[in-house]
């Protein structure tokens, strides 16, 4: 299948002139050619997609997401992070069923796809069986998006030599034509250590497994309030070390780590992260929703740290919209530093695409529009009431567009969203899925004591 995207503002690596109008030729699963608008018109193709009035970017890469969190939308109320974890997250996660996971996985994938996200890191916060892994990843294969499945490892797994994690990796890594990859969750933040979900042996053994399998590791790091009574500061003072210092002292902090949030770096944390080549996954609206503070993203970038973008999951901030996160990132850093361009627009888009791809070790295939790369492409309509008129396409995209402005989305050369409609799922199926998710979410909340029985 050969597809030509023509006429839009193309954001391609090393080709800034294409923002004024460009063509992208896709042959099979890969990008075959790039050129000025109309320059590839003579190429033989099976389909022409007119992108006039739109911006054409690499598919967005969400580096921190919890798919099943959609069941908890609105249940967190006005709780600070620490209370939200104990009063909302933990009651829900211990009562999930296999079918709950299956429905949430498909709906979250469709939600992100509808917003131009082609890849996401699904960070599990609970142990999962082989049946539960299948319930999560089967729908991902059916929807057609990419998922970097982060399998949770817990202290008890050390005794069994990480059999469940090994099995998940061997079963699923490279599945669905390579669109599913497997990494590991090693919760190393002070909150989780205090709850018994982390030991030094677990971190050392889990990291060794990640090295053996050459994959990524993800963890919540340096998040929450700076309360001396119950927040992150309490644990820093008690243990005499920060989260990044903990990983550094164990000798495991390296380029494999995706450090989710990292809102409250202290002491030499930024130097340690930069030297290790680790990635910070920034989730701005989530952090604001829980009153956690503003992550010093500009300081991180100035320190040479790779910062990628994530959504965290809609139980925290009610959204899976990556476009929203790009805007939040820029505006909050502008406010923090009191300058109107704290992060360059080109860099901001890179954070939402290429830097996320690098975080999961997939930058050789995804994250940029380049000849030879996988055709993961998102086309956003800018010819809308809320976005137009357009003078600078990238600025308009970041500041005025919405995730639902995605008009066409392609993964591995297949159009999964065309003219705003899913190609693999009917509107009736999506409506039924939403109805079932609503029923399951309410039932889960009642089982957890968060809604009246």
Domains of the chain by start residue, with CATH: 2-58+373-422 (2.30.40.10), 60-359 (3.20.20.140)
Measured N-to-C along each axis, helices 200-213 and 163-172 cross at an angle, to the nearest 10 degrees, of 20
Whether the bond into 389 is cis, omega within 30 of 0: yes
Helix ranges (DSSP H) in 123-281? 130-143, 163-172, 190-194, 200-213, 232-239, 243-250, 269-276
Q: What is the mean pLDDT of the chain?
A: 96
**414-418/421-422 β-pairing:** antiparallel
- Between the CA of residue 360 and those of 76, 181, 305, what are the distances in Å? 30, 9, 15
Read off the pLDDT band of 21 (50, 70, 90).
very high
pLDDT at 362 over 90: yes
pLDDT at 453 over 90: no
Q: Return the sign of the alpha-carbon dihedral for residues 260, 263, 264, 266.
A: positive
116: nearest Cα among 382, 328, 364 = 382
pTM to 2 decimal places? 0.97
Read off the pLDDT band of 228 (50, 70, 90).
confident
- Specify the pLDDT at position 99: 98
Predicted confidence (pLDDT) per residue in 291-324, tens digit: 888 999 999 999 999 999 999 989 988 899 999 9
pLDDT at 190 over 90: no
320: nearest Cα among 57, 56, 70 = 70
How many whole angstroms separate alpha carbon 128 and alpha carbon 134? 10
How many whole angstroms separate alpha carbon 1 and alpha carbon 381? 24
- Between the CA of residue 289 and those of 10, 85, 366, what are the distances in Å? 33, 13, 30
pLDDT-wise least confident of 149-153, 221-225, 350-354, 384-388: 221-225
- Work out the average pLDDT over 70-91: 88
- Specify the pLDDT at position 189: 87
- Specify the pLDDT at position 324: 97
């Amino acid at each position: 299948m050969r597809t030509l995207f023509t006429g839009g503002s193309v954001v391609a690596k090393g080709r800034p002139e294409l923002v004024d109008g460009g063509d992208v030729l896709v042959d099979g699963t890969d990008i075959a050619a790039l050129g000025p608008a109309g320059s590839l018109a003579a190429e033989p193709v099976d389909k022409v997609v007119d992108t006039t009035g739109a911006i054409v970017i690499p598919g967005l890469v969400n580096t921190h997401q919890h798919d099943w969190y959609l069941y908890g939308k609105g249940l967190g109320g006005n709780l600070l992070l620490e209370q939200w974890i104990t009063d909302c997250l933990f009651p829900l996660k211990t009562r999930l069923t296999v079918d709950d996971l299956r429905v949430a996985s498909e709906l979250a994938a469709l939600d992100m796809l509808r917003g131009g996200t082609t890849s996401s890191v699904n960070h599990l916060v609970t142990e999962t069986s082989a049946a539960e892994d299948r319930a999560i990843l089967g729908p991902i294969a059916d929807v057609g998006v990419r998922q970097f499945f982060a399998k949770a490892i817990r202290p008890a797994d050390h005794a069994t030599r990480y059999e469940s994690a090994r099995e998940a990796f061997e079963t699923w890594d490279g599945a669905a034509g390579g669109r599913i990859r497997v990494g590991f969750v090693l919760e190393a933040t002070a909150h989780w250590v205090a709850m018994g979900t982390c030991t030094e042996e677990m971190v050392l053994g889990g990291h060794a497994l990640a090295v053996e399998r050459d994959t990524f590791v993800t963890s919540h790091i340096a998040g929450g309030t700076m309360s001396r009574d119950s927040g992150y500061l309490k644990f820093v003072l008690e243990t005499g070390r920060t989260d990044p210092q903990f990983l550094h002292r164990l000798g495991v902090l390296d380029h494999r780590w995706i450090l989710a949030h990292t809102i409250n770096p202290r002491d030499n944390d930024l130097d340690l992260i930069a030297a290790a080549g680790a990635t910070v996954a920034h989730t701005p609206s989530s952090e604001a929703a829980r009153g956690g503070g503003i992550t010093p993203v500009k300081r991180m970038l100035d320190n040479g740290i790779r910062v990628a973008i994530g959504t965290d999951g809609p139980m925290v901030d009610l959204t899976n919209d990556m476009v929203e996160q790009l805007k939040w990132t820029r505006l909050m850093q502008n406010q923090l530093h009191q300058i109107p361009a704290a992060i360059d627009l080109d860099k901001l888009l890179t954070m939402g695409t290429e830097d996320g791809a690098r975080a999961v070790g997939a930058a050789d295939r995804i994250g940029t529009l380049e000849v030879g790369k996988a055709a993961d492409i998102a086309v956003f309509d800018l010819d809308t009431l809320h976005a137009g008129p357009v003078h600078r396409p990238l600025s308009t995209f970041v500041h005025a567009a919405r995730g639902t402005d995605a008009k066409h989305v392609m993964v591995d050369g297949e159009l999964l969203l065309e003219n705003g409609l899913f190609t693999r799922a009917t509107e009736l199926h999506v409506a039924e899925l939403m109805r079932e998710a609503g029923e399951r979410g309410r039932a889960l909340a009642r089982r957890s004591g968060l809604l009246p029985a």
